[in-house]
Amino acid sequence: MSEILNLSMDISGKIDKINDRIREVILSDNDKLTEMASYTFASGGKRLRPLIILLVYEINTKEPVDFALNLAVAFEIMHSASLIHDDIVDEAEERRGWPSLYRKFGLSDAIVTGDYLFSVAYRIGASYGREISEVVAIAAKKLAEGQIEESSNLGNFNLDEETYMRIISNKTALLFASGAKSAAILAGSDSDEIQNMHDFAYNIGMAFQIADDILDIVGKEEYTGKPPFTDMKHSALTLPMIYALKHSSDKEKKKLTDVLSGKKTDKDAIEAAKEMLINTGSVDYCIKVANSFIDRAIESQKHAKLSPNLQTLFEIAYSIVSRVRI
Ligand code: GRG
């Protein structure tokens, strides 16, 4: 992961701790459920959210980082549970390079595994007391709201930027933000520090989703592990599309919507749509918007004392947009 995120700090010890703890807390009395839950995490994942949580916690306290380990894994478990459900919604064949859980074990068991993992996350949240448990629960509420607003807009080629921003705020950024906020609460930070950590993670979460949406169009298949327009299969409009549709002729618009609506699925049509998108300047625009969120993230820490952990958080922030390679 440090390769993908280009970090100077060796974070392998933290990642190992996270993975070991996940393996422990997902154990069920039912062997099949344990097998399915374990499959979800064995396939990989960057562990970005729990890493941020541990870094934030350590910045704000002298207590051992292990006190925040369960909290960190709760957020990773919630994230992974949402991906299980997302793959069902999107009919995705693969996740993290492996067959998606519902493909491997069937629809109903995959739904229950996702639900089970959410219950593990809530239980961990509850073990930290009322305030943190509320932050964990609200993060899940927002995930669901973002997802439903996204699916309510499938095929809506008039989706505006404001609605897109609200969707990604709920389905992606608030999970990052809630993780960092609860880490700062657990560390005993004051209310300004808690808010600043929330804002830092929120803004990198926004940039992260925009970068993900750019990668869905221009990301090299060998790098993203999926062909272009995979996430667009169900006509969920993302920022690059919104910009391109607004800045193209009727003829170009038609070419693009034919691909987005699945009317045209051949390689040439997809390539032409991709080319058109790039020519409207939409990718450059989205990179600019993503960078503006990174600037806000860095700005949120203007009063914080620079430390190796904060430096690593900054490196994570910058890596989020630089992973978009055309
Ligand atoms: C049941 C409460 C409840 C909610 C489920 C399905 C759903 C609602 C939400 C899905 C939200 C979603 C898929 C957001 C996308 C977030 C995103 C950018 C995922 C990719 O994150 P990475 O790249 O993944 O960090 P890895 O594999 O590295 O962990």
Give the closest residue (by CA) to ligand 1 atom 12.
171
Give the closest residue (by CA) to ligand 1 atom 24.
45
Alpha helices in 106-226 (DSSP H): 107-127, 130-152, 161-168, 174-186, 191-218, 221-224
Contact 140 CB / ligand 1 (< 6 Å)? yes
Q: What is the mean pLDDT of residues 310-326?
A: 90
Domain count, the chain: 1
Distance (Å) from CA 9 to ligand 1 centroid: 26
The confidence band for 205, taking pLDDT boundaries of 50, 70 and 90, is very high
Largest Cα separation within the chain, whole Å, is 61
Q: What is the mean pLDDT of residues 303-312?
A: 97
Give the closest residue (by CA) to ligand 1 atom 27.
45
List pLDDT tens digits, range 86-117.
999 999 999 999 999 999 999 999 999 999 99
- Which among 40, 41, 151, 171 is the best mutation to test ligand 1's pocket, defined by most ligand atoms within 8 Å of the CB? 171
Contact 147 CB / ligand 1 (< 6 Å)? yes
Q: How far apart are CA 78 and CA 96, in angstroms?
A: 16
What is the average pLDDT value for the chain, to the nearest integer?
Answer: 93
Q: Which atom of ligand 1 is nearest to the CA of 83?
A: 13
Residue 234 confidence (pLDDT) above 60: yes
Three-state SS at 294? helix
For residue 281, the 8-state DSSP code is T
The pLDDT value recorded for residue 324 is 82
The confidence band for 255, taking pLDDT boundaries of 50, 70 and 90, is confident
Q: Which residue has the tokens 């969920």?
A: 236
Residue 307 confidence (pLDDT) above 90: yes
The confidence band for 2, taking pLDDT boundaries of 50, 70 and 90, is very low
Contact 235 CB / ligand 1 (< 6 Å)? no
Q: How far apart are CA 152 and CA 171, in angstroms?
A: 14
User: Which domain CATH number covers 231?
Assistant: 1.10.600.10
Higher-pLDDT residue of 25, 274: 25
Three-state SS at 92? coil
- Which among 5, 78, 82 is the best mutation to test ligand 1's pocket, defined by most ligand atoms within 8 Å of the CB? 82
Contact 4 CB / ligand 1 (< 6 Å)? no
Distance (Å) from CA 107 to ligand 1 centroid: 18
Structural domain harbouring 149: 2-322
Q: What is the mean pLDDT of residues 272-288?
A: 92
The pLDDT value recorded for residue 222 is 58
The pLDDT value recorded for residue 3 is 46
The confidence band for 265, taking pLDDT boundaries of 50, 70 and 90, is confident
The pLDDT value recorded for residue 180 is 98
Q: How far apart are CA 302 and CA 283, in angstroms?
A: 29
Give the closest residue (by CA) to ligand 1 atom 6.
86
Residue 69 confidence (pLDDT) above 50: yes
The pLDDT value recorded for residue 310 is 98
Higher-pLDDT residue of 226, 259: 259
Q: Which atom of ligand 1 is nearest to the CA of 209?
A: 18
